[in-house]
């Protein structure tokens, strides 16, 4: 009888320890996941800030360079495409992040073209409103970089946590899956060629 009670007591102790451990791990995983979701929201916030600046920049450039219609249309189309993609942080995976990143890269490329057009118009470059918008855009690009870095760090911590033993067992039970990372833009592995 003593052996039987001892076995029952050991089983109850193991179950209680497992429940306690899984509860702690579950809570820490929830916290990590919330950090990732918050960091993703900030990434989206900064991209939205950039998208909100674009109409003002396009209108300012349009006033100075009416024959640059093709560039203005490309920027407007790229903005529309980039803002049409919304991603719920809970459904963030490699494919949706890649699609999001591709549209944002297209918008960045179109903006570079627009700003290079502005270089051809000295009056536009000297326009205080345009200079202010350009400064805001540069600041926003820096904020995007910081938001992406913070997201990357939050994802690294979360993905590491769900892969550690014994947390990986509980993560699978509770449906915690790895979150995707941003990837470098194609061609980023090559150094730019500088010619004088």
Q: Is the pLDDT score of 119 beyond 80?
A: no
Return left, alpha or beta for 22; rule: phi > 0 is left, psi -120 to 50 is alpha, else beta.
alpha
User: Which of 16-25, 38-47, 62-71, 155-164 is the least confident region?
Assistant: 16-25
User: Which whole number is the average pLDDT over 2-6?
Assistant: 74
Helix (H, G, I), strand (E, B) or coil at 183: coil
User: Which whole number is the average pLDDT over 124-143?
Assistant: 85
Instruction: Confirm whether 137 is domain-assigned.
Output: yes
pLDDT tens per residue, range 83-117: 888 888 887 888 888 899 999 999 898 888 888 87
What CATH number is attached to the domain comprising 60? 1.20.1270
Report CA dihedral (88, 94, 98, 99) to the nearest 10 degrees: -50
Report how far residue 123's alpha carbon sits from residue 105's, in angstroms, rounded to the nearest whole number.
Answer: 29
Peptide linkage before 166 cis (omega within 30 of 0): yes
Q: Domain count of the chain?
A: 1
User: Which whole number is the average pLDDT over 62-90?
Assistant: 80
Q: What is the DSSP string of 113-152?
A: HHHHHHTT-HHHHH-HHHHHHHHHHHHHHHHHHHHHHHHH
Instruction: Confirm whether 7 is domain-assigned.
Output: no
Instruction: Confirm whether 144 is domain-assigned.
Output: yes
The residue ranking higher by pLDDT, 40 or 58, is 40
Instruction: Output the pLDDT for position 39.
Output: 94
Q: Is the pLDDT score of 163 beyond 70?
A: yes
Report how far residue 81's alpha carbon sits from residue 107's, in angstroms, rounded to the nearest whole number.
Answer: 8
Instruction: Confirm whether 6 is domain-assigned.
Output: no
Average pLDDT taken over every residue of the chain: 81
- CA atoms 73, 142, 52, 82: torsion sign: positive
Instruction: Confirm whether 27 is domain-assigned.
Output: no
Domain of residue 118: give its range. 40-174
Q: What is the DSSP string of 41-82?
A: HHHHHHHHHHHHHHHHHHHHHHHH-TT-HHHHHHHHHHHHHH
Instruction: Confirm whether 150 is domain-assigned.
Output: yes
pTM of the model: 0.75
Q: Is the pLDDT score of 159 beyond 90?
A: yes
Q: What are 37's two structure tokens? A: 């979701």
User: Which of 1-5, 88-92, 126-130 is the least confident region?
Assistant: 1-5
């Amino acid at each position: 009888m003593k052996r039987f009670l001892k076995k029952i007591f050991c089983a109850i102790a193991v179950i209680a320890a497992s429940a306690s451990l899984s509860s702690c791990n579950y809570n820490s995983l929830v916290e990590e996941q919330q950090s990732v979701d918050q960091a993703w929201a900030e990434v989206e916030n900064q991209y939205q800030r950039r998208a909100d600046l674009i109409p003002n920049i396009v209108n300012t450039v349009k006033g100075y360079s009416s024959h640059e219609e093709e560039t203005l249309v490309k920027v407007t189309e790229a903005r529309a495409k980039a803002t049409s993609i919304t991603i719920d942080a809970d459904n963030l995976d490699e494919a949706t992040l890649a699609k999001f990143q591709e549209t944002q890269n297209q918008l960045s490329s179109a903006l570079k073209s627009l700003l290079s057009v502005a270089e051809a118009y000295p009056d536009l470059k000297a326009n205080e409103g345009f200079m202010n918008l350009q400064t805001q855009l540069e600041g926003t690009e820096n904020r995007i970089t910081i938001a992406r870095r913070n997201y990357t760090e939050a994802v690294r911590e979360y993905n590491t946590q769900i892969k550690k033993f014994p947390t990986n067992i509980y993560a699978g039970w509770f449906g915690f899956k790895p979150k995707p990372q941003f990837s470098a833009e194609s061609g980023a592995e090559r150094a730019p060629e500088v010619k004088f």
